[in-house]
Amino acid sequence: MKNITLFLAFIGMMTLQSCEVTEIYEDTNVPRTEVFEKTTSFNSLNNYGIKVVFDPPIYSSDSVLVYHLYDVVNGQDVWKLMPQTYYFNDGGELDFNFDYTRSYVNIYLSANFRLNTLSPDWTQNQTFKIVIIPDGFAKTVNKNDINAVMSALKVTQADVKKINL
């Protein structure tokens, strides 16, 4: 009886030792990021704002940068980091602004005048890049230069996800 118990214990130990556990570790030295591009128009029906939903939600430690395509000069895009205020000769001030949560980013216009008086140049077919960056990364790069941000994050234009709502 003693030999059978010893034999079963030996078989049990051999069985347990043959188990294999594979662990996958996330490389925390590589920034996790996403870049989205959205072209939209602002009007009274959307209250001069749009909401872009993050699915899945971003981490609470992530930050969001939003850039507005201000102009194209000699074939080169001119991106401006938001918030951005534009001043008009008549004293008017137009703000392109945003706020965000873990679930969405809200991009909107505000002004010290009625938004329905704006030229379509300011409200129609406006393009934005939404950049989700890991905590602390914004301190290490020139955020005013979208090309520096994309380069530091190792994101190419091909990696940018177009959003169609």
**82 DSSP 8-state letter:** S
E strand or H helix at 17, and its extent?
helix 2-17
Residue type, 66: V
Other residues' Cβ atoms within 10 Å of the Cβ of residue 37: 15
- CB of 78 within 8 A of CB of 67? no
Specify the pTM: 0.75
| Residue 65 pLDDT greater than 60, yes or no | yes
For tokens 């945003």, the residue is 98
pLDDT of 33-55, one tens digit each?
Answer: 789 999 999 999 999 999 999 98
Model confidence band, residue 152 (pLDDT cutoffs 50, 70, 90): confident
What integer best gives the mean pLDDT of the chain? 83
Residue type, 36: F
Tell which wins on pLDDT, 5 or 139.
139
Give one DSSP letter per residue of 76-139, joined into a string: EEEEEESSEEEE-TTS-EEEEEEEE-SSEEEEEEEESS-GGGS-HHHHSSEEEEEEEE-TTGGG
